[in-house]
A and B are shown apart, each in its own frame.
Chain A
Amino acid sequence: MLWYTGRRLLQLIPVFFGATFLIYFMVFALPGDPIAALFGEKQPSPAVIEAIRAQYNLDKPFIVQYLLYIGGLFTGDLGTTFSGRPVIDELVRAFPITFRLAMLALLFESIAGIVVGLYAGLRKGKIFDNSALVVSLLLISVPTFVIGFVLQYVFGIQLALFRTTVSSQAPWSELVLPAIVLASVSFAYIVRLTRASVAENMSADFVRTATAKGLTRRRVVGVHILRNSLVPVITYLGVDIGSLMVGAIVTEGIFNIQGVGGTVYRAIQLGEGPTVVSFVAVMVIIFMLANLLVDLLYAVLDPRIRYAK
């Protein structure tokens, strides 16, 4: 297990440098003036231009720029936003909020998704299964922001059960509706994945053997079918973190949540390129680390991975 962890960490390093390099490259190395690109139609004042130049070391050769930037990442110097605040401060303030939102969403989507998927898979072809399939397809087809608007309208305005926007401290209770919105698409995918996995495992040989041993149906389902069906779901969760981050930008935008996503959202709206880049870079790093955690969890769940050389 230790060996597996070490190997995964080692594999992470080139990917880390590659991905950050790619982001940096896209922004600063493409033909054209990066300043113009970053700010689009807006014309920032010369003072700001000067500051940006210095911050991103635009006068130096590209590789040096990149390395200085990476160095900055490690020391916590991520540059400053338009309002003059250091990006790192913004990040520290916003991160816990988004973290709470994401955790809630993960909780909702996993528990609900696995339970619904399990029942659908066990009763394949029956009414519950077919409706679960239809609902999940709908949730994937309707973009998250539409779901957000609709739920905000219905629950926030019409039924007035929830606040339509979230306050700046963003306590757990206020994050419930946004978390549901955020979780909706992932919930659909998890239902489908669990359902397919369960249906497949139901006809697996080892399930037949378990039944032949005289185990109760309940135990066969819980200990054998479900347990084995969890593995692909866990794998999916790793990729899902990425879509959660994108979804966070949208959801936090709609509900006016002052988290990482919301900051990126506003920065995009205001055309603040540099902020967008910094935040995205950090999000990508978090994505990579989350994936690493998921890989480790996967090894815990599947001994074949753990013991493979």
Chain B
Amino acid sequence: MTSTSTRPESAGTASSATPLLEIKGLKIGFKTQSGYVDAVRGVDFTMMPGERLAIVGESGSGKSTTATSIIDLLPGAGEVTGGQILFEGKDLTKATPAEMQAIRGRDIGYVPQDPMSNLNPVWSIGFQVEEAIRANGVATGKQAVRDRAIEVLKEAGLGDADQRLKQFPHQFSGGMRQRVLIGIGLSSRPKLLIADEPTSALDVTVQRRILDHLETLTRDYGTSVLFITHDLGLAAERAEKLVVMYKGQVVESGPSKEILANPQHPYTQRLVAAAPSLASQRIQSSIAPTHTNDVEISDEGADDAELMKRAHQREELGKRNASYIQVENLTKLYKIRQGGFKTTELRAVDDVSFSIPRGTTMALVGESGSGKSTVAKLVLQLESITSGTVAIDGRSVGALKGKDLFDFRRRVQPVFQDPYGSLDPMYSVGNTIAEPLVTHGIGDRKSRQKRVHELLDQVSLPVSMVNRYPGELSGGQRQRIAVARALALKPDVIVLDEAVSALDVLVQGQVLDLLTDLQTELGLTYLFITHDLAVVRLIADNVCVMQKGRIVEAGTTDEIFANPAQQYTRELLEAIPGANFEFGR
């Protein structure tokens, strides 16, 4: 990539003038079934010793590919097709396998994304830590290696390090596993650490602790850190330099705070505008409200007694709409069979109460195990209620059976998280959206087809989609189809369970905009389940914070964000990366 502007080497804050890492015109290609794909098309950036740099981009931007190519970890079909990777002046693209092997681990460490799949399940933790120590010559001799391994685990923040050595990965929690991986990555005090989305697979409060810890360690050792992340807020917080990638190219790079305060390239501007962690207000619908939920109770042609009655009716209707969805003392117990004959009880949902006014969005926020998804399933009557009630528009749903339950389903519809599992891969898009209509026997073939076209239109997808299959579509497109399916029966309530959590930031923004517009247009009530408090600010009117099956705090979005009363809520808010920064638009 030629740049017409001159790019002086950063004289910056680093102590030495020789860059630690220089990427010059890097090009990487992949051989796939459908031909050759250029994943990285000319990337340049520089890192000084002790510096922290973040590469930000959505999926497909080439950020992970760039990072893994530095230590030659590209999957089999990928190869560097041009450019240079200069590490301490030496071009790694020309290094021999033996040279690469020496550099890996010792001079450049790597912390991967998913802690579960990145540790070998059949060897103990101690084994895997010790082999890294031995391979990089950090210690020799059985006892010395073992002692060093204990040190590594302790530094990584794991207590009982000597006990932990004998344990296996599946016995650790996600956060603990990630600490082990960080420990392994830093075990030989490398000059550079490549951290590929190191915390995105973890709970939000755990994320912050681990990133803080990582920061302390790397500062103490003087290690440079190369972060790969999709989260702008995280990049701003943790790195001084930022590189924004889009479709294999660098679109903007420089001091992170400056870029986020004053983004120049249109793509960066889009990212900054859409990033939930940086937002400060609810998305407003772009269209005027056309739907009213109130049945017109006019005062025409009525005498006094009639007027009283109608006023009364309006009042009743108002009350019903104020607590359109009313959940009271909802509890769900699961019986888990332990080995043998013991069974224990799991209180997935414990005495939960809240109400949602009609036409608004209520967010249920919590980390994994908080019970928020279970509440969603209970409201949808996909699981049975153990005790308590769920009432929608005055009717208790827990008691519904048979035909009543069947009819109830038309009023409450779900949109689930995993875009790759929420649509049957064997069904065409048209059939998926038509399934609700077919199941409830609505209309004939022609009118159903018409309705499907209507729905596709409503979610801004072209009509030609009807013959396509989920396998060919992107995550955002699939979620929009899931929304279209949910709308088919003209429901009053939509339960969205982590519906946007797996989507790229810009696509996420698009879907959230769509949802907001639909809410205004159709008068829908949303129950929005998420672990991401930042997204809550964009979409929700009211919030309930859940932990271990109970509601810890509830209130309007503004209240919760401005004055969190509970410690846990404060922790969740503080865990949002980049929440404290001021950003440009």
A–B contact, 8 Å CB criterion (strictly below): yes
Q: B104 touching A203 by the CB < 8 A rule? A: no
Q: Is A51 an interface residue (CB 8 A)?
A: no
Q: B101 touching A209 by the CB < 8 A rule? A: no
Q: Which residues of B contact A301 (CB under 8 A)?
A: 122
Q: Is A231 an interface residue (CB 8 A)?
A: yes
Q: Which residues of A contact B131 (CB under 8 A)?
A: 210, 213, 215, 219, 223
Q: Which residues of B contact A7 (CB under 8 A)?
A: 339
Q: From the candidates B119, B135, B338, name the one contacting A206 in the complex (CB within 8 A).
A: B119
**Complex: A309 Cα to B181 Cα, angstroms:** 27
State which size class the interface on A falls in: 20 to 34
Q: B75 touching A203 by the CB < 8 A rule? A: yes
Interface residues of B (CB under 8 A from A): 71, 73, 75-76, 97, 101-106, 109-110, 112, 114, 117-124, 131-132, 135-136, 168, 170-171, 181, 184-185, 188, 338-340
Interface residues of A (CB under 8 A from B): 3, 7, 202-206, 208-217, 219, 223-224, 227-228, 231, 301-304, 307, 309
**Complex: A215 Cα to B136 Cα, angstroms:** 8
When C-beta atoms are compared, the residue in chain B nearest to A304 turns out to be B170
Q: Which residues of A contact B71 (CB under 8 A)?
A: 212
**Complex: A219 Cα to B101 Cα, angstroms:** 12
Q: A213 touching B122 by the CB < 8 A rule? A: no
Q: A209 touching B114 by the CB < 8 A rule? A: no
When C-beta atoms are compared, the residue in chain A nearest to B188 turns out to be A214
Q: B135 touching A307 by the CB < 8 A rule? A: no
Q: A302 touching B121 by the CB < 8 A rule? A: yes
Q: Which residues of A contact B104 (CB under 8 A)?
A: 211-214
Q: B118 touching A206 by the CB < 8 A rule? A: yes
**Complex: A270 Cα to B73 Cα, angstroms:** 65
Nearest-Cβ distance from residue A265 to partner chain B, whole angstroms: 41
30 example contacts (A-B, Cβ-Cβ < 8 A) are as follows A7-B339, A205-B117, A206-B119, A209-B118, A211-B104, A212-B73, A212-B104, A212-B105, A212-B109, A213-B131, A213-B132, A213-B135, A213-B184, A214-B104, A214-B132, A214-B135, A215-B101, A215-B132, A216-B101, A217-B97, A219-B135, A224-B120, A227-B122, A227-B123, A228-B120, A228-B122, A231-B122, A302-B121, A303-B124, A303-B170
Nearest-Cβ distance from residue A304 to partner chain B, whole angstroms: 5
Classify the secondary structure of B's interface with A: loop
Q: A210 touching B171 by the CB < 8 A rule? A: no
**Complex: A204 Cα to B109 Cα, angstroms:** 19
When C-beta atoms are compared, the residue in chain B nearest to A203 turns out to be B75
Q: Which residues of B contact A211 (CB under 8 A)?
A: 73, 104
**Complex: A209 Cα to B112 Cα, angstroms:** 7
Known: A205-B118, A209-B110, A212-B73. A309 touches B338 (CB 8 A): yes
Q: A204 touching B171 by the CB < 8 A rule? A: no
**Complex: A63 Cα to B71 Cα, angstroms:** 70
Q: Which residues of A contact B103 (CB under 8 A)?
A: 214
**Complex: A210 Cα to B120 Cα, angstroms:** 9
CB-CB nearest 10 A-B residue pairs: A214-B105, A309-B339, A212-B110, A205-B117, A214-B104, A213-B132, A206-B120, A303-B168, A209-B118, A213-B105
Q: A212 touching B112 by the CB < 8 A rule? A: yes
Most interface-central of A212, A219, A303, A304 (chain B CB within 10 A): A212
Q: A206 touching B132 by the CB < 8 A rule? A: no
When C-beta atoms are compared, the residue in chain B nearest to A227 turns out to be B122
Q: A208 touching B73 by the CB < 8 A rule? A: yes
Q: B112 touching A205 by the CB < 8 A rule? A: yes
Q: A203 touching B76 by the CB < 8 A rule? A: yes
Q: Which residues of B contact A223 (CB under 8 A)?
A: 123, 131
Nearest-Cβ distance from residue A289 to partner chain B, whole angstroms: 24
**Complex: A202 Cα to B132 Cα, angstroms:** 19
**Complex: A301 Cα to B122 Cα, angstroms:** 7
**Complex: A215 Cα to B170 Cα, angstroms:** 23
**Complex: A217 Cα to B326 Cα, angstroms:** 61
Q: Which residues of B contact A307 (CB under 8 A)?
A: 168, 170-171
Q: Which residues of B contact A209 (CB under 8 A)?
A: 110, 112, 118-119, 181, 184
Q: Which residues of A contact B122 (CB under 8 A)?
A: 227-228, 231, 301-303
A sample of 18 more A-B contacts (CB under 8 A), given A227-B120, A302-B121, is: A7-B339, A206-B118, A206-B121, A208-B112, A209-B112, A209-B119, A210-B120, A212-B112, A213-B131, A214-B104, A214-B135, A215-B132, A216-B101, A217-B101, A223-B131, A228-B122, A231-B122, A309-B338
Nearest-Cβ distance from residue A202 to partner chain B, whole angstroms: 8
Nearest-Cβ distance from residue A308 to partner chain B, whole angstroms: 8
Known: A214-B105, A214-B132. A304 touches B168 (CB 8 A): yes
Known: A212-B110, A303-B122, A304-B170. A206 touches B105 (CB 8 A): no
Nearest-Cβ distance from residue A226 to partner chain B, whole angstroms: 11
**Complex: A221 Cα to B185 Cα, angstroms:** 20
**Complex: A211 Cα to B136 Cα, angstroms:** 12
**Complex: A214 Cα to B121 Cα, angstroms:** 19
**Complex: A3 Cα to B341 Cα, angstroms:** 13
Q: Which residues of B contact A303 (CB under 8 A)?
A: 121-122, 124, 168, 170
Nearest-Cβ distance from residue A130 to partner chain B, whole angstroms: 17
Known: A205-B118, A228-B122. A214 touches B168 (CB 8 A): no
Q: Which residues of B contact A304 (CB under 8 A)?
A: 121, 168, 170
Nearest-Cβ distance from residue A205 to partner chain B, whole angstroms: 4
Q: Which residues of B contact A217 (CB under 8 A)?
A: 97, 101
Q: B184 touching A214 by the CB < 8 A rule? A: no
Nearest-Cβ distance from residue A86 to partner chain B, whole angstroms: 43
Nearest-Cβ distance from residue B122 to partner chain A, whole angstroms: 6
**Complex: A215 Cα to B120 Cα, angstroms:** 14
Nearest-Cβ distance from residue B317 to partner chain A, whole angstroms: 54
**Complex: A204 Cα to B104 Cα, angstroms:** 18
When C-beta atoms are compared, the residue in chain B nearest to A215 turns out to be B135
Q: From the candidates A205, A214, A228, name the one contacting B101 in the complex (CB within 8 A).
A: A214
Q: Which residues of B contact A228 (CB under 8 A)?
A: 120-122
Nearest-Cβ distance from residue A106 to partner chain B, whole angstroms: 22
